[in-house]
Structure 1
Amino acid sequence: MRVWVAWCLLAVPALAFSHVKPLSPIPLPEAQVEVGPSVRKGWVVYTVKAGDTLAGLALRYGVDPRHIMWSSGLKDHRLQVGQRLLIPLVGVEERPPRVPPGVEVYRVRPGDTLQGIASRFGVSVLDLVSANPSLESLDRLVAGSVLYVPKGAKGLLLTLGEGQTLVDLAGRFGLSPVQVAKANGVENPAELRPGDLVLLPGIQAKTTYQNLLAKQEAERRARLEAERRRQEELRRLAEERRRQQALAQAQARRQQAQVARPQVRRVSYQEGGMRWPLSGFRITTYFGQRGAFQRYHTGIDLAAPYGTPIVAAKSGQVEVAGWSSVGYGFHVILDHGGGVETLYAHMSRIAVRPGEWVEAGEVIGYVGSTGWSTGPHLHFEVRVGGVARNPLSYLP
């Protein structure tokens, strides 16, 4: 991983002593180079990778997640792959920001809520919001971030900005500088530095709290509306499934009734009747719908021992003799003229070739279990004009 670090030098205030005469400048040797103060503060320019989280990066670099958000101009804790972040780094010689006495620094744990933390420390949610006016939500807390808990005096907790003083903040909120200094345990306000936290006693962030409550209510309503729509969609889908199942069951009952009472029209040989393609067989599956969730059966299945000879049901020309890519395995199709065809599937071996003429009763192959088959049998179809018909209507 390639990391770029952008450093900035902090200005060191010059010390002035009225009782000391300024020293004459000491000439430097030509080879001597004057070096400025050592680096004390900087930023790591980091490119977000898959799996990175704000809390994880803050823990890795030992900084508050909110400082990364402020440095990088983030509006919330969500990160995107490829996004560039400025992670602030503080030199070990620089003291951490000063926290007023009575204010506890709490590191947010997974599962924490603002209400839960307030109850645990015996303070109100408004007190927590006043001590953390940069909060963006009453419901969502970033694990690993810092939360300030006012266990002593309650009030508004602000960060002292560049060029600001305690007296400036006190005057801005109409408070006595002495009162503010006492609440912060400060004897000399000049000791405070930019970045230190200042507690303004008695000041509450009511407007911020009201805005957060309004945002919480809007998000709650949005969640309820999304859940209502989801439940409606689930009910609609369930009703559609019930309707489809009822239709399928009704159709299955009708098909079963037809199978139980087949209406077979017997056709004589003179009208184009056929002979059975096997001898010594047992019908295992009839023509038609087999169940609500099974494919429509386009022929009849005749179970017989492996290798039983299969004969032509009627004289005709061999149209197809070979392997099928749609589950028939080794199969033969005979053309009997007038748009009438017969199909013989799942053969173990074929005894004819395409183009041959065969007479009714002539052997064309042998029973097998090739293709989509679960045991040795002959799948026999009759097609008229390309449409599958019930073979029992054409057999004696």
Structure 2
Amino acid sequence: MRGILGALCVFCALPAWAKLPVLSPLPLPEATVEVGGTARKGWVLYTVRPGDTLAGIAARYGVDPRHILWSSGLKDDRLQVGQELRIPLVAVEERKPRIPPGVEVYRVRPGDTLASLSQRFGLSPLELVSANPSLESLDRLVAGSLLYIPKKTKGLLVALPEGETLVDLARRFGLSPLEVAKANGLEDPTALRPGDLVLLPGIEAKATYQRLLAKQEAERQARLEAERKRQEELRRLAEERRRREALRQAQLRQAQVQRPQVRRVSYQEGGMRWPLSGFRITTYFGGRGAFQRYHTGIDLAAPYGTPIVAAKSGQVQVAGWSSFGYGFHVVLDHGGGVETLYAHMSRIAVRPGQWVEAGDLIGYVGSTGWSTGPHLHFEVRVNGVPRNPLAYLP
């Protein structure tokens, strides 16, 4: 009844216009959403730009560079342009975590190593690792990150976990709470808050140090393996270059072997002089290819109209046009079955039956007959058989 009366009372309290007959169900009140306070933690997605460094980005956002490494899943501080980083943001605390007296905070500089810092501060690598058990490498320190340097008491430096007290921490490591409080300069151990750093005197992070040593050795072996592969690749490339050079030299030797071997003939045995000056040999005596006929002489390319002289004294046997592709040509008889032929002349300067001496003018370079350009086709025949002219020339 009270619920019904309450409902009626609420209805009576409505204005007159609201007491009209209801023709359709009243709409239900809209659902409400409560928004909590701003999250204390989160990330900023940052795209690496040219010139960015991990230390510079960390300083810009006021975070430890190592936190960016861990949040972004990076193994080292080498960045690439366009790479996306997750930068953890932590709301400003009411106070900074407490650091025990006698512990100095050091910001890592470029070039710092665990070995150099150990030597600088008079600590062993194990003592330095114990004060910084979150280190990920003995060789690579992230520039801009923070290291804790124990100046007095040495030991393990840890953050007080949530829900634990100094007494709990001391008992877990088998230490006297009074001893731990004294090492941390505490008169009231209950004043510690979660996240405050606690120095546990005499405790060494041996397991962490051994893990880092094993990682260091694995990285050293990886570098040695990478260097070995690099040297193997260099040797392979050098061997490939040597092989190509040997193949090139073999091809050159083969080409020299295939070039007709020339036995020089002295002038007394029938030697001759060059019939041209200022020329270059474009085709040699011998075979020229599977689909080309045997070349019975040598071709001497020279400018159109270059004088042609007799290679040796003799009598003009032929001086005229050839029906075999020689064009205007001259044949000299030198006796003993030796003849020379001069083809593709532009003009003939001798007549049949004429006697000429070696060096006498007999015609001019042309491109008559089967010719593709101005040159002299020069042949030497012995008893009607073509011979290599180079064997008779100086």
TM-score by length of 1: 0.55
1:305 CA drift (Å): 6.1
Match of 1:98 in 2: 98
1:252 CA drift (Å): 2.0
Cα separation, partners in 2 of 1:286 and 1:243, compared to 1, 3 Å: farther
2:280–2:302 Cα contact (<8 Å) kept: no
The CA RMSD measured in Å over matched residues stands at 4.4
Match of 1:142 in 2: 142
Instruction: For structure 1, list consecutive stretches of 5 or more residues without a partner in the other structure.
Output: 1-37, 264-278, 289-299, 309-313, 316-359, 368-377, 381-391
In 1, the alpha carbon distance for the partners of 2:301 and 2:193 equals 95
Match of 1:230 in 2: 230
Match of 1:293 in 2: none
Cα separation, partners in 2 of 1:224 and 1:84, compared to 1, 3 Å: closer
Deviations 1:269-318 (A, max 9, x none): xxxxxxxxxx9862166679xxxxxxxxxxx997756999xxxxx97xxx
In 2, the alpha carbon distance for the partners of 1:307 and 1:180 equals 113
Q: How does 1:172-321 map to 2 (within 5 A)?
A: 172-256=172-256, 261=261, 282-283=279-280
Match of 2:48 in 1: 49
Matched, 1:111 2:111: yes
In 1, the alpha carbon distance for the partners of 2:252 and 2:240 equals 18
In 2, the alpha carbon distance for the partners of 1:74 and 1:252 equals 55
Q: Which amino acid counterpart does residue 182 of structure 1 have in structure 2?
A: K
Max Rg structure = 2
Q: Which amino acid counterpart does residue 361 of structure 1 have in structure 2?
A: T
In 2, the alpha carbon distance for the partners of 1:194 and 1:231 equals 53
Q: Which amino acid counterpart does residue 112 of structure 1 have in structure 2?
A: D
Match of 1:294 in 2: none
1:365 CA drift (Å): 9.3
In 2, the alpha carbon distance for the partners of 1:131 and 1:202 equals 11
1:121 CA drift (Å): 0.8
Q: How does 1:64-103 map to 2 (within 5 A)?
A: 64-70=64-70, 77=77, 81=82, 83-91=84-92, 94-103=94-103
Deviations 1:59-107 (A, max 9, x none): 221221123345556665566745351422443x733222212212111
Cα separation, partners in 2 of 1:71 and 1:228, compared to 1, 3 Å: closer
Secondary structure, counterpart of 1:106 in structure 2: strand
Q: Which amino acid counterpart does residue 214 of structure 1 have in structure 2?
A: A
In 1, the alpha carbon distance for the partners of 2:56 and 2:242 equals 48
Match of 1:361 in 2: 368
Deviations 1:203-240 (A, max 9, x none): 00001111111111122222222322322332233233
Deviations 1:97-127 (A, max 9, x none): 2221221211111221111111111100001
Tell me the number of residue pairs that the alignment of Structure 1 and Structure 2 aligns. 269
Cα separation, partners in 2 of 1:107 and 1:287, compared to 1, 3 Å: farther
Match of 1:370 in 2: none
TM-score by length of 2: 0.55
Identity %: 64
In 2, the alpha carbon distance for the partners of 1:153 and 1:107 equals 20
2:281–2:300 Cα contact (<8 Å) kept: yes
In 1, the alpha carbon distance for the partners of 2:304 and 2:256 equals 30
Q: Which amino acid counterpart does residue 48 of structure 2 have in structure 1?
A: K
In 1, the alpha carbon distance for the partners of 2:301 and 2:115 equals 74
2:126–2:205 Cα contact (<8 Å) kept: yes
In 2, the alpha carbon distance for the partners of 1:193 and 1:229 equals 53
2:68–2:85 Cα contact (<8 Å) kept: no
Deviations 1:128-159 (A, max 9, x none): 11111111111111111111122211100111
Secondary structure, counterpart of 1:142 in structure 2: coil
Deviations 1:245-272 (A, max 9, x none): 2332243244346658469xxxxxxxxx
In 2, the alpha carbon distance for the partners of 1:98 and 1:68 equals 22
Deviations 1:348-382 (A, max 9, x none): xxxxxxxxxxxx72899999xxxxxxxxxx9x9xx
